[in-house]
Amino acid sequence: MRNVGYITYMDMIYNICYFIILILFVLFLWGSNRLIRASETRKSVVIEHIDTIDSQFQLVLTISLFVLGGIVWFVV
């Protein structure tokens, strides 16, 4: 087995993915916290807002993965 002393393309992709997972975990904590603190009359409005934010984050993070993957391809 070869000992590689530098960061490879796959290392960078793993780092990007771990960062995206961290962002999604924080988003989950935020949404759960917001839902728990909402009153019973506002829960449906809060759920709709959380769903909207979730959809936007998922779209942006998916696009970011491909864009950053392309950038890293040319940098590393």
Residue type, 76: V
Mean pLDDT confidence for 11-32: 96
pTM: 0.82
Q: Does 58 score more than 70 pLDDT?
A: yes
Residue with tokens 């975990």: 25
Q: In this predicted structure, what is the pLDDT of residue 50?
A: 96
Do residues 12 and 72 lie in contact, with contact meaning Cβ atoms separated by under 8 Å? yes
CA distances from 71 to 18, 38, 59, 76 (A): 17, 41, 18, 9
Indicate whether 1 pLDDT > 90. no
Separation between Cα atoms, residue 64 and residue 62, nearest integer Å: 5
Whether the predicted pLDDT of 2 surpasses 70: no
